[in-house]
Amino acid sequence: MDYYKSPTKDMMFLLDVFDYESRVSTLEAFADYDKDMVGAILDTASAVCIDKLLPLNSVGDAEGLKWDPETGDVTTPEGFKGAYATLVENGLLGVTCTPEYGGMGGPEVLGIYSSEIMIATNKSFSMCPGLSRGLIDALAAHGSDEQKEFYLPKLISGEWSGTMCLTEPQCGTDLGLIRTKAIPQDDGSYKLTGTKIWITFGEHDLAENIIHLVLARLPDAPEGIKGISAFIVPKKIDGELNNVKCTGLEHKMGIKASPTCVIDMEDSTGFLVGTPHKGMRSMFVMMNAARLHVGVEGIALGSIAYQTALAFAKDRRQMRAIDPAKQDQNAAADNILVHPDVRRMLLNVKATTEGLRALGAWISMEYDVAHHHPDADTRKAADDIVALLTPVIKSYGSEQGFLNISEAMQVCGGAGYTTDWNIEQYMRDERIALIYEGTNHIQALDLVGRKLRIDSGRLLRTFQGRISELIVESKDDERMAEFLTPLKTISKKLVGATMEMGGAAMEDPEVVGAVASPYLNLFAMCALTYVWAKQAHYVLNNDVPFGETKLKTARYFNTKILPQAETLIATIATGKSNIMDFDIEELEVI
Amino acid sequence: MDYYKSPTKDMMFLLDVFDYESRVSTLEAFADYDKDMVGAILDTASAVCIDKLLPLNSVGDAEGLKWDPETGDVTTPEGFKGAYATLVENGLLGVTCTPEYGGMGGPEVLGIYSSEIMIATNKSFSMCPGLSRGLIDALAAHGSDEQKEFYLPKLISGEWSGTMCLTEPQCGTDLGLIRTKAIPQDDGSYKLTGTKIWITFGEHDLAENIIHLVLARLPDAPEGIKGISAFIVPKKIDGELNNVKCTGLEHKMGIKASPTCVIDMEDSTGFLVGTPHKGMRSMFVMMNAARLHVGVEGIALGSIAYQTALAFAKDRRQMRAIDPAKQDQNAAADNILVHPDVRRMLLNVKATTEGLRALGAWISMEYDVAHHHPDADTRKAADDIVALLTPVIKSYGSEQGFLNISEAMQVCGGAGYTTDWNIEQYMRDERIALIYEGTNHIQALDLVGRKLRIDSGRLLRTFQGRISELIVESKDDERMAEFLTPLKTISKKLVGATMEMGGAAMEDPEVVGAVASPYLNLFAMCALTYVWAKQAHYVLNNDVPFGETKLKTARYFNTKILPQAETLIATIATGKSNIMDFDIEELEVI
């Protein structure tokens, strides 16, 4: 059974909280996108996804994929093709894509909202348009005009789909080890030969053609990451197969309706994208957008798991309320929502899921400003927030999303462990999010090793600036004190931990590796405290129907989730102590 | 691929740490069980389980169970029957059972050690003898002599297997709601009618007969939990079927080779066990032993997941070491064990898994003392430790075990998410451990609401007495200071949190429900700090080949795991704040 209502009211509320009308819909690019327009598209997306994708979710998991070893063809579960066609018809695959090539040209915040709805209703399915969007972004940024005109219209409409071919058996995180070769041809094209693995929707039957963005080496390439070039390698050229064959599917814990392919190329024709040896640029365009959406996966599946657990809890009676006043004398047992621990579990999920949704809304609106604001300084500041918080939402969002689904399962007891309630599928589907698009530790190194170091901490200063703005803006409002005090405290602690980590790393760079992961989670605590204070501030100054609930949830976050910071701070303070002392033999089982 | 070496050296070491030779093998009941004997049995168990059960583990998961709706018969995966027969032949199903009825009469510590090995190599399979053992214990404690003589020899040998039939559709946690009826017959037997769900190995083809222990109500039963009686209901009586039919199997996230049955009885013949209306007593005998073994599941699957991740890590090269001295100039990338975060993840698993194994060893040796020591006070003190720490190891062991498997998966990156490395199966198999045998919150309520309140905290005082003994014993040993200081600190904090919680609960009993779960985890932190200090103390005073490694792991625990206490303490301090304030409608998705 699936229990899902699209959280559109929360999404619309967050537009207000982060000043959508004054900051985003005033941008020339989004002149058509006032709040009503966003709301209308979300309503369509919700209706279509709930109607067409949700019923296929557990079906797809059970049926899985068929692969023909002879032809390499992959058949998606029954119904997927029809659902894909419906989404193409409704233009729902190109909501954020440029209208120049047929997209709807909507803001990124609309993109992550509709992404959340699509993932919640069918994560496996959502991977296909998700990958296409990555390729569209990469081509829009680095493709030639000719390439854009040829590929973008069909990718944006969904007639064709896209992939990103990075990983090879010997390299996942470490793309400098790529071996796939690209040999220049007289006509300006290239012949590519090599094997790529983990290729999501690398082969399938939903779209007419599949366009692979492939990382490979030119014959004269320098070693390592600086010798990687990017190529377009279509499955078919002018209707003819291009020797790009799926030679196997991975058997995975989850996302079983999303084909994870081994892709073999042998003298397959490809076309260079951008500059030789600078292929990582195109890839980073894909990966940064993708990382934000991976964070959204935790929100989406956390949300549907929450709704399922709540539906179970509302119906289930077990044991008596501790408080006699809450006991139902007309029944042999009380509804389990009388038990503090059941509420604790549900509220853990609610407070972090809504907090993460607010964080995603904020980042995506900054993304829109960063890409479309006329003023360079404004763009830069907005981009600082996006760059700083993208690894945070990817890593914390996926980790907490996974834990939230587990918490939702716990609410349902044994029923939650069966396939009847689908939570177990959400958990299996979510677990990969901690790994792909850069493992969570890679996100932490990106945050600590790259983002914090830009201009000696400029991004962190921009982030703190936003916090200060809110504090200054509401300093005379006594009602805000309960939300500002924890925000000030966690913000100070974060800066303290940053300094401490920086100092220790100067003496020993291994400290960064040892503490980056807990540090990222501490950063998430600060960011979520901020977005909860922002929501509280909006509620206290505006008429919001569910305003009281938002205030209660903000308080719950500050009381019951924010204390996670204490352990993180204590752990960061111990640096790399006792981590590197073991010889490898000492790690063996005793 | 499965990577498993039985951790027998660690097990044997822990016998020394907790004074097996002077405390357990001196007991009359275990006169035959010196350390060598225990070691020999563990070696046999390891060899048989690795040879017969491990190869069937992923096979069983993939093949699953067959159920015939017509007959209700359940067929286990290919090979299970043969493996069961081998274990029966080797007497491995009755290692702790009384020799009076054909058991090996070994100590409980041997029981949990062999249980760990069996679970690690095939958790689904291990559930069958696990349930039999529960029934054996219950009959040994509450069955009549006639019942013991008739049932125990066949249950102990494994010719017959056992189940525990508690849950019904309307009641899991709340057994007072049971509706199954037992009608007395003239011949002293009863006719039972009702439906039981979640019956592990309720029907299967491994044993000749299945003996169900069924909770039901007599016609004159008082309402609620005080009107529950226990009955033996065999599948077959004198070779004739007894109208006990499996009418369905649950479809579950994991343990897919372990049948979870719906069992229908209609006028099935049963025999009362113990006193009418006192059936919960028999059930508690089963459940307490079972809870200890559920904690062991987290150790077992955490251990095999760890070994798998280590095997992966030792082979995998990605990126360069941060420390140039650790870079391998003969290869394009360094082994991932140079990266602090990979070690951090592995050590998180190692330190908690070995800590939990030590905790299990300690509890089970106290169990042996509690059941067999000639002195009543000594038995009582030992039983205090067992009663207090059983919910702790069940809950923390299952939760941390699950997280540990997830951490091991993360070490393997994308490979860990595939079925090739089996970690994903361990994760699915482990998740149910947080739910069954009393959900983890029920364990926390047992700890706080029952165990702590006995004799105004006697059990906690006994526990603190053990800590004090170690502190006094090693107070002049400067080398112990680094292990005693954190122990003293966490012990004081635990007592502080206990007092605080107790005070708050006097004013508002709902506080207990709100904080019991984090409180149990705080208790686990203190218990693990103690068992690590015990191990360090033994190593520092004896010649242990892997002694240095143990000291390093103890240090790692104190530095990197123990800080979890900080968040738990901060959370407990906030009591039930903001938990009960939400109206039910406010929990709905916005």
The residue type found at B335 is N
Tokens 């304030």 belong to which residue? B581
Interface test with A, best of B334, B335, B522, B587 (most A CBs within 10 A): B587
| B506: Cβ contacts below 8 Å, ≥ 6 apart | none
Q: Does A524 touch chain B (CB under 8 A)?
A: no
The residue type found at A39 is G
Chain B residue numbers with beta carbons less than 8 Å from the beta carbon of A548 are 586
Rounded to whole angstroms, the Cα distance separating B574 from B586 reads: 22
Rounded to whole angstroms, the Cα distance separating B430 from B405 reads: 8
- Within 306-345 of B, beta carbons closer than 8 Å to A belong to 306-307, 310, 314, 317-319, 322-323, 332-333, 337, 339-341, 343-344
> Is pTM, for the whole model, over 0.90?
yes
Helices B510-541 + B8-17 axis angle, to 10:
90
Residue A389 has pLDDT above 80, yes or no: yes
Q: Which of A74, A83, A87 is nearest to A156 (CA)?
A: A87
Rounded to whole angstroms, the Cα distance separating B102 from A475 reads: 77
Rounded to whole angstroms, the Cα distance separating A261 from A195 reads: 10
Q: Which two tokens stand for residue B393?
A: 């190891």
- SS3 state of residue A172: coil
Q: Are the C-beta atoms of residues A343 and A555 closer than 8 Å to each other? A: no
Q: In whole angstroms, how far apart are CA A177 and each of A223, A287, A416?
A: 8, 18, 43
- DSSP character string of A178-206: ---EEEE-TTS-EEEEEEEEEEETSS-SS
Rounded to whole angstroms, the Cα distance separating B590 from B588 reads: 6
pLDDT at position A176? 87
Rounded to whole angstroms, the Cα distance separating B468 from B464 reads: 6
Q: Are the C-beta atoms of residues B147 and B327 closer than 8 Å to each other? A: no
Q: Does B519 touch chain A (CB under 8 A)?
A: no
Above 0.90 for ipTM, yes or no? Answer: yes
Chain B residue numbers with beta carbons less than 8 Å from the beta carbon of A332 are 176-177, 223
pLDDT at position A284? 79
| B413: Cβ contacts below 8 Å, ≥ 6 apart | A172, A173, A435, A439
Phi and psi torsions of A6, nearest 5°: -70, 130
CA angle B369-B133-B466, nearest 5°? 25
Mean pLDDT, range A257-263, rounded to an integer: 97
Which helix or strand (DSSP H or E) is residue A81 part of? helix A80-89
Nearest CA in chain B to A432: B417
Q: Taken in order B144, B150, B154, B157, is the CA torsion positive or negative? A: positive
Q: Taken in order B75, B78, B80, B85, is the CA torsion positive or negative? A: positive
Cβ atoms within 10 A of the Cβ of B21, count?
11
Rounded to whole angstroms, the Cα distance separating B342 from B327 reads: 16
Q: Which residues of B are catalytic?
A: 437
CA B304 to mean position of chain CA atoms = 16
pLDDT at position A379? 97
- SS3 state of residue B286: helix
Q: In whole angstroms, how far apart are CA B336 and each of A350, A509, B96, B343, B411?
A: 37, 16, 43, 9, 9
3-state secondary structure B307-337: HHHHHHHHHCECCCCCCHHHCCCCCCCCEHH
Please indicate whether, in this complex, the C-beta atoms of B590 and A409 are within 8 angstroms of each other.
Answer: no
Q: In whole angstroms, how far apart are CA A442 and each of A291, B511, B558?
A: 11, 40, 26
CA A383 to mean position of chain CA atoms = 17
Q: Go through chain B and tell me how many residues it has.
A: 590
- Could you list the pLDDT tens digit for every one of the 590 residues in chain B? 779 999 999 999 999 999 999 999 999 999 999 999 999 999 999 999 999 999 999 999 999 999 999 999 999 999 999 999 999 998 888 899 989 999 999 999 999 999 999 999 999 999 999 999 999 999 999 999 999 999 999 999 999 999 999 999 888 788 889 999 999 999 999 999 999 999 999 999 999 999 999 999 999 999 999 999 999 999 999 999 999 999 999 999 999 999 999 999 999 999 999 999 999 887 877 777 789 999 999 999 999 999 999 999 999 998 999 889 999 999 989 999 999 999 999 999 999 999 999 999 999 999 999 999 999 999 999 999 999 999 999 999 999 999 999 999 999 999 999 999 999 999 999 999 999 999 999 999 999 999 999 999 999 999 999 999 999 999 999 999 999 999 999 999 999 999 999 999 999 999 999 999 999 999 999 999 999 999 999 999 999 999 999 999 999 999 999 999 999 999 999 999 999 999 999 999 99
Rounded to whole angstroms, the Cα distance separating A576 from A581 reads: 9
Interface test with A, best of B579, B584, B586 (most A CBs within 10 A): B579
H helix and E strand count, chain A: 19, 11
| B395: Cβ contacts below 8 Å, ≥ 6 apart | B295, B434, B440, B443, B444, B517, B520, B521, B524
Q: Does B101 touch chain A (CB under 8 A)?
A: no
The residue type found at A566 is E
Which helix or strand (DSSP H or E) is residue B216 part of? strand B209-216
Q: Which of A223, A127, A231 is nearest to A178 (CA)?
A: A223
Parallel/antiparallel/unpaired status of strands A244-249 and A236-237 = unpaired
Q: Which two tokens stand for residue B205?
A: 């083809």
Rounded to whole angstroms, the Cα distance separating B70 from A530 reads: 60
Tell me the CA end-to-end span of chain B in Å, nearest whole number: 45
Please indicate whether, in this complex, the C-beta atoms of A310 and B251 are within 8 angstroms of each other.
Answer: no
Q: Which of B201, B189, B278, B168 is nearest to B232 (CA)?
A: B189
Q: Which two tokens stand for residue A451?
A: 């983002």
Q: Which of B466, B518, B458 is nearest to B494 (CA)?
A: B518
Tokens 């963005």 belong to which residue? A213
Q: Go through chain A and tell me how many residues it has.
A: 590
Q: Does A444 touch chain B (CB under 8 A)?
A: yes
Q: Does A435 touch chain B (CB under 8 A)?
A: yes
- Within 156-185 of B, beta carbons closer than 8 Å to A belong to 167, 170-174, 176-177
How close is the nearest chain A Cα to the Cα of B523, in Å? 16
Q: Are the C-beta atoms of residues A436 and B414 closer than 8 Å to each other? A: yes
Q: Does B18 touch chain A (CB under 8 A)?
A: no
For chain B, domain boundaries:
452-590
Say which of A354, A437, A507, A585 is annotated catalytic.
A437
Chain A residue numbers with beta carbons less than 8 Å from the beta carbon of B441 are 341, 410
Q: In whole angstroms, how far apart are CA A353 and each of A295, A360, A528?
A: 11, 10, 10
pLDDT at position B176? 87
- SS3 state of residue B16: helix
Chain B residue numbers with beta carbons less than 8 Å from the beta carbon of A322 are 509-510, 512-513
Question: Which spans in B447-480 are helix H?
Answer: 458-473
pLDDT at position B60? 97
Interface test with B, best of A400, A584, A587, A588 (most B CBs within 10 A): A587
pLDDT at position A334? 92
Q: Are the C-beta atoms of residues B249 and B259 closer than 8 Å to each other? A: yes
Nearest CB neighbour to A432, from listed B402, B417, B569:
B417
Tell me the CA end-to-end span of chain A in Å, nearest whole number: 45
Which residues make beta-bridge pairs with B165? Answer: B214
| B187: Cβ contacts below 8 Å, ≥ 6 apart | none
**Can you list the positions of beta strands (E) in B15-83?**
66-67, 74-75
Mean pLDDT, range A78-107, rounded to an integer: 93
Nearest CA in chain A to B515: A341
Rounded to whole angstroms, the Cα distance separating A574 from B299 reads: 26
Which residues make beta-bridge pairs with A75? Answer: A66
Tokens 């679970």 belong to which residue? B119
pLDDT at position A471? 97
Rg (CA), chain B: 24
Q: Which of A40, A136, A122 is nearest to A93 (CA)?
A: A136
Phi and psi torsions of B205, nearest 5°: -115, 20
Q: Which of B355, B356, B353, B320 is nearest to B338 (CA)?
A: B320
Rounded to whole angstroms, the Cα distance separating A264 from A339 reads: 55
pLDDT at position B564? 97
Rounded to whole angstroms, the Cα distance separating B231 from B347 reads: 47
Q: pLDDT of A277-324, one tens digit each?
A: 999 887 877 777 789 999 999 999 999 999 999 999 999 998 999 889
Give residue A103's pLDDT band: very low, low, confident or very high (50, 70, 90): very high
- SS3 state of residue B476: coil
Rounded to whole angstroms, the Cα distance separating B317 from B446 reads: 47
- SS3 state of residue B354: helix
Q: Which of B57, B58, B50 is nearest to B87 (CA)?
A: B50
